[in-house]
């Protein structure tokens, strides 16, 4: 089926077309050249949009016949010889893309015996012989392959330092001169879509790319890039947002059997407020999204307010905060309540007004999730009361508070069991004594030995690979509500909470040490 849509498609329109490489493979480059006919788009269903000069009608018929045999419909657009030459360049882009994929596969195979960071250093040494755009794309892909959550280009006096945040820790990889890095700065700006001539204002944008992960699987990765002006030059940070890495298994996140039972019990409720307390970089997004995915069974309307939306989840109504346009948490939360929600996520509670609206929503048969920046579960109670939230409003609404930190896991490829040092042994035994009533089995697991990583290529010689949360979880029962009503602060709640089996993050960390998941050095690093 054919139809002439427009007699001439102008060169400017062709240049603006975004190539869909999957469509180009429907007809070969050779046939496209002979017929001067190329696929440049697709409507809903199986209707293709074709661009042709109609200089070779017989060859055009052959290409159309081939398309029809594959079950496609089509629409014809005409263009000039010059316009077609521009469109034909998309095959060259396809070939370039396939070459890059092949190179990435080779790099992935090499990475089995050599870390992605080592490969990155090799690419850096050969950068003068490479196209700048190709080089910077390779660096970005290898950064992701190395397991980095963030890639930093940090200006310093001597040059631009490339650093990777892997498992929460920054590692310096290579260093550029200021003069040399300017050309890479321009390529990064071009590929990310920000304004090229702006270096005096912050700029943020998103872009996507394909890369292999640590396991050699090719993925499409969304990234958030930030440019920030500085004294020397702009600082650049690229955050990798891999939605496929989201964890649905709460045990993988770090929840113990006991804490998971408490969480599952609370998730069955239809109203109340659940708080996750965290400093930046503590895995809040992972935990919240895992909870929402569990609740997202198609029977409830779930609406989120986020700043920013890091991952899009099917079935959720997600809304992006925009302070520049007056769309803050308070405004958004008021709007949500007019959307007939069952479950609400407020990305962060920063003000008394936001807290009051969230609490009132939880008291009117909505299940509300929110986060606070505090150091512990008990600190969050004090924070809310210090905001000016009256205990008579807070206590009936509050159902659960979760506190967490992320610690690095001992590398499974190079771990070894060692005798605990006298200092380590003293700390562990003291905590186990405090846990005796709650978890008497812990003593049996500890025999004076703990696991430590020696360092290998798999963990970039750090001794750690991956992260897990150490967690404290406080279920608000009637006795805790009564004490909170009377004392209006959370500082004196610890003895009462402990009587109900409450385990602090320090204690959960010790339990994960004796289980061989992490080591004492990591627990101390994130908590002290």
Q: What is the CATH number of the domain that holds 218?
A: 3.30.450.90
Q: Are residues 302 and 239 in the same domain?
A: no
Q: Kind of pairing, strands 343-346 and 302-306? A: parallel
Q: 187 with 279, same domain?
A: no
Check residue 113 and give its pLDDT.
42
| Average confidence (pLDDT) over 494-500 | 91
Q: Answer whether residue 282 shows pLDDT above 80.
A: yes
In 3D space, the residue among 146, 182, 183 whose CA is nearest the CA of residue 166 turns out to be: 146
pLDDT at residue 123, rounded to an integer: 92
pLDDT band for 424, please (50, 70, 90 cuts).
very high
Q: Report the candidate in 391, 522, 504, 507 with the shortest Cα–Cα distance to residue 464.
A: 522
Average pLDDT over every residue of 109-135: 80
Q: What is the CATH number of the domain that holds 22?
A: 3.30.300.160
Confidence band (pLDDT; 50, 70, 90) for 276?
Answer: very high
Instruction: Clarify whether residues 376 and 504 are in a common domain.
Output: yes
Q: How far apart are CA 384 and CA 394, in angstroms?
A: 8
Looking at the fold, whether 485 and 369 belong to one and the same domain comes out as yes
Pairing, β 302-306 against β 317-320:
parallel
Which of 217, 245, 273 is where one domain is finished? 245
DSSP string for 335-351 = HHTTS--SEEEES---S
**Whole-Å CA distances, 452 to 382, 406, 414, 449, 459:** 37, 17, 8, 10, 13
Boundary of a domain, candidates 213, 245, 277: 245
Peptide bond into 358 cis (omega under 30): no
Residue 109 has what pLDDT?
A: 47
Assess whether 306 and 197 both reside in one domain.
no
pLDDT in tens, 459-471: 888 999 999 999 9
Last residue of a domain, one of 104, 128, 149: 104
For residue 470, give the nearest of 425, 525, 510, 410 by alpha carbon: 510
Q: State the pLDDT at residue 450.
A: 93
What digits encode the pLDDT tens for the residues 39-83?
A: 877 776 678 888 888 888 888 888 888 888 888 888 888 888 877
Residue 234 shares a structural domain with residue 274:
no
Token pair listed for 444: 């049996």
Pairing of the two strands 343-346 and 367-372: parallel
Reported as a single tens digit per residue, the pLDDT across 377-411 is: 988 888 888 888 988 889 999 999 999 999 999 99
What confidence score (pLDDT) does residue 34 get? 85
**R_g over Cα of the chain:** 28
CATH number at residue 392: 3.40.50.300
C-alpha closest to that of 46 among 22, 78, 21, 73? 73
- pLDDT more than 70, % of the chain: 89
- Structural domain containing residue 442: 250-527
464 and 488 inside one domain: yes
296 shares its domain with 398:
yes
C-alpha distances out from residue 272 to 12, 355, 382, 484, 499, Å: 56, 13, 19, 16, 23
Among 171-180, 454-463, 519-528, which stretch is predicted with the lowest mean pLDDT?
A: 454-463
Q: How many domains does the chain have?
A: 3
Please tell me whether residues 147 and 177 are part of one structural domain: yes
Specify whether 478 is located in the same domain as 514: yes
pLDDT of residue 139: 94
The predicted structure's pLDDT at residue 263: 95
CA 110 to chain centre: 26
> Would you report the helix, strand and coil content of the chain in percent, each value rounded to 5?
45, 25, 30
Task: Judge if 156 and 257 occupy the same domain.
Answer: no
Average pLDDT of the segment spanning 198-219: 83
Q: What pLDDT does 112 receive?
A: 44
| Residues 299 and 387 occupy one common structural domain | yes
């Amino acid at each position: 089926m054919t139809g002439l849509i427009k007699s001439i498609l102008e060169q400017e329109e062709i240049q603006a077309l975004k190539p869909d490489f999957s469509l180009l493979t429907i007809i070969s480059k050779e046939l496209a050249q002979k017929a001067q006919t190329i696929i440049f788009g697709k409507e809903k269903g199986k209707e293709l949009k074709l661009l042709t000069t109609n200089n070779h009608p017989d060859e055009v018929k052959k290409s159309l016949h081939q398309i029809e045999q594959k079950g496609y419909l089509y629409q014809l657009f005409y263009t000039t010889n010059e316009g077609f030459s521009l469109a034909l360049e998309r095959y060259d882009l396809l070939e370039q893309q396939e070459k890059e994929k092949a190179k990435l596969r080779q790099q992935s195979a090499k990475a089995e015996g050599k870390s992605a960071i080592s490969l990155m250093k090799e690419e850096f040494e050969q950068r003068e012989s490479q196209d700048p755009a190709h080089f910077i794309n390779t660096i970005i892909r290898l950064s992701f392959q190395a397991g980095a959550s963030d890639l930093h280009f940090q200006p310093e006096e001597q040059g631009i330092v490339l650093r990777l945040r892997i498992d929460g820790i920054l590692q310096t990889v290579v260093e550029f001169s200021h003069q040399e890095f300017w050309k890479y700065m321009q390529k990064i700006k071009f590929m990310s879509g920000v304004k090229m001539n702006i270096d005096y204002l912050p700029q943020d944008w998103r872009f996507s790319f394909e890369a292999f992960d640590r396991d050699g699987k090719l993925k499409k990765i969304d990234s958030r890039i930030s440019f920030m002006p500085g004294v020397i030059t702009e600082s650049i940070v690229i955050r990798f947002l891999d939605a496929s890495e989201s964890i649905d298994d709460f045990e993988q996140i770090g929840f113990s059997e006991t804490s998971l039972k408490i969480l599952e019990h609370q998730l069955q409720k239809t109203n109340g407020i659940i708080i996750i307390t965290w400093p930046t970089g503590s895995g809040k997004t992972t935990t919240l999204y895992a909870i929402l995915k569990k609740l997202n069974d198609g029977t409830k309307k779930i609406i989120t307010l986020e700043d920013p939306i890091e991952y899009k989840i099917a079935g959720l109504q997600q809304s992006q905060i925009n302070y520049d346009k007056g769309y803050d948490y308070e405004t958004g939360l008021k709007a949500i309540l007019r959307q007939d929600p069952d479950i609400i996520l407020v990305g962060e509670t920063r003000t008394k007004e936001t807290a009051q609206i969230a609490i009132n929503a939880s008291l009117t048969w909505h299940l509300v999730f929110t986060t606070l920046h505090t150091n512990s579960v008990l600190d969050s109670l004090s924070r809310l009361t210090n905001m000016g939230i009256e205990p008579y409003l807070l206590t009936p609404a509050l159902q659960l508070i979760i506190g967490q930190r992320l610690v690095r896991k001992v590398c499974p490829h190079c771990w070894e069991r060692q005798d605990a040092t006298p200092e380590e042994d003293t700390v562990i035994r003291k905590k186990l004594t405090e846990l005796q009533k709650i978890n008497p089995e812990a003593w049996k697991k500890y025999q004076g030995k703990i696991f430590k990583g020696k360092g290998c290529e798999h963990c970039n010689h750090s001794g750690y690979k991956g992260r897990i949360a150490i967690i404290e979880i406080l279920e608000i029962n009637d006795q805790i509500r009564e004490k909170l009503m009377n004392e209006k602060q959370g500082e004196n709640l610890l003895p009462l909470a402990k009587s109900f089996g409450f385990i602090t993050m320090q204690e959960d960390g010790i339990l994960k040490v004796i289980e061989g998941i992490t080591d004492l050095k990591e627990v101390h690093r994130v908590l002290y």
